[in-house]
Amino acid sequence: MTTATATPAPHKRLARMLGTGAPVYALLAALLIVLAVTDIGFYEPDRFLAFVKRAAPLVILAAGQYLVIVCGEFDLSVGAIVTAGVVAAAEVYGSYPDAPWLLVAAGLLLAGALAGLVSGLITTRLRVPSFITTLGMMLILEGAVFYWTGGSPHGQLPQDFRQLGRGTAMGWLPWAVLACLVAGAVAVLLMRSDFGRTLIATGDNERAAALAGVRVHRARVIAFVLSGAAAALAAVLVGGFSGVSAQAGRGYEFEAITAVVLGGVVLGGGRGSVVAAMAGAFSLQALFTLLNLRGVSGALESTVQGVIVIAAVGIGAADFSRLRRRRRTHSPGGTPS
């Protein structure tokens, strides 16, 4: 029995377009409205751009994490890559204070991609679950950073390197917002390309994809490489935004995965859109800002975050299962299609 309808009703078409991301768009809209009510000045251009600038690293991380999750894997190492990136840049500048920032940034991107490549190869070739591979990668990087710096990185990040995370183009547009837009556009184009389709097919049903001619291993390795590079880009932004810190990326892997899941992307792969994942990142950042503005602090903040995340994902899941059930109960008596 097939249930495909030739001409779906407009609201159904809209629902399909939004896909599994519908709840996150609703959540994001709600949060943005509440923010506007809480703080009148929130939508002044400067402040709103500052908000996007703050969200940029997480959005980029979420886009990278999406690629890995949608093909059925995890990347727990992104937070550690951010930390390692910031610390490595500081160490490089400690030894070579005059290094050109573009070279250092490019070096970081390459190193991030390399870390992703290693995770990807170990996951696919040695068949170590990515959960373990990237957990190991996280511990290796954390330990290495610690060993290398003795807990206190040398060197300051110079202003030109920090420009990308801190400065503005043309005097008003933060570079971080531009970087975020570019990364987002690349991710969308990527997911619309053949590669994107093979990635989703891989996550949906690895065996079917392989039989259909998808080189699943290669697709997954590329996803890891891109996730690593995205994490390195986030490191450039985070380092630029807040300077040297041996804990710069702490907890970011967690936030990125939360953002992706909040965006309705199914853990295990095969379903969800990258735009929704990035919207999930914006929602998280909006939530952080809202909690900060409302004066919710300390331990309660985590609690509120947890409740909202579970509720958002839970409501999304509940809606879809009910829709499906209704369709199933109706179809026997309905018109055969």
Partner 1 sequence: MNPRMVRGRTARRRALASAAVLLTGALLASCSSDTPPDAPAAAGESQDSGGDKPSKFFERAEYERQLKLGEETPKGPEGKPWEQMLEPQMVSTAQYRKKGQGDDVHLCFSNAGVFNPWRQVGLKTMKAEVKLHEEISDFTVLDAQGKDDKQISDIQELAGNKDCDALIVSPNTTATLTPAVKEACGKLPVIVFDRGVETDCAVTFVNPIGGYGYGAVAADFLVEKVKPKGKILALRISPGVDVLETRWSAAKLAFDKSELDVADVKFTDGDPAKTKSIVADAISRHGSIDGVWMDSGATAVAAVEAFEDAGVDVPPITGEDQQDFLQVWKDKKLTAIAPTYPTFQWRTPVIAALRVLDGKSVPKEWKLPQPTVTQDNLDEYLKDGMPPLHYAMCGCQRMPGFPGDWGGKK
- Under the rule (CB under 8 A), what is the footprint of partner 1? 39, 41, 47, 50, 54, 74, 76, 79, 90, 94, 131, 135, 138-139, 142, 146, 149-156, 166, 238, 241-248, 250-251, 253-255, 257-258, 261, 267, 284, 287-289, 292-293, 295-303, 305-306, 308-310, 313
How far apart are the C-alpha atoms of 270 and 196, rounded to whole Å?
11
- Minimum distance from residue 326 beta carbon to partner 1 (Å): 26
Q: Which residues pair with 174 in a beta bridge?
A: 168
- Minimum distance from residue 316 beta carbon to partner 1 (Å): 12
Taking the least distance from each CB to partner 1, the nearer of 254 and 327 is 254
Phi, psi of 168 (to 5 degrees): -125, 150
- Minimum distance from residue 247 beta carbon to partner 1 (Å): 6
Sign, CA torsion 69/72/76/82: negative
How far apart are the C-alpha atoms of 156 and 153, rounded to whole Å?
9
Taking the least distance from each CB to partner 1, the nearer of 124 and 130 is 130
**Alpha carbon 256 to chain centroid distance?**
5
How far apart are the C-alpha atoms of 62 and 75, rounded to whole Å?
11
Mapped onto helix, strand or coil, the DSSP state of residue 173 is: strand
How far apart are the C-alpha atoms of 223 and 74, rounded to whole Å?
10
- Minimum distance from residue 275 beta carbon to partner 1 (Å): 20
- Minimum distance from residue 246 beta carbon to partner 1 (Å): 7
Taking the least distance from each CB to partner 1, the nearer of 96 and 254 is 254
Q: By C-alpha distance, which of 76, 74, 70, 56 is closest to 240?
A: 56
Taking the least distance from each CB to partner 1, the nearer of 46 and 337 is 46
How far apart are the C-alpha atoms of 169 and 64, rounded to whole Å?
25
How far apart are the C-alpha atoms of 61 and 180, rounded to whole Å?
10
CA distances to 82, 144, 218 from 246, in Å: 10, 12, 33
How far apart are the C-alpha atoms of 206 and 298, rounded to whole Å?
43
In order, the DSSP letters of 255-272 are: HHHHHHHHTTPPTTSS--
Taking the least distance from each CB to partner 1, the nearer of 191 and 233 is 233
- Minimum distance from residue 41 beta carbon to partner 1 (Å): 6
How far apart are the C-alpha atoms of 263 and 261, rounded to whole Å?
5
Taking the least distance from each CB to partner 1, the nearer of 76 and 225 is 76
- Minimum distance from residue 300 beta carbon to partner 1 (Å): 4
- Minimum distance from residue 129 beta carbon to partner 1 (Å): 11
Mapped onto helix, strand or coil, the DSSP state of residue 303 is: helix
- Minimum distance from residue 191 beta carbon to partner 1 (Å): 23
- For 44, which DSSP code? S
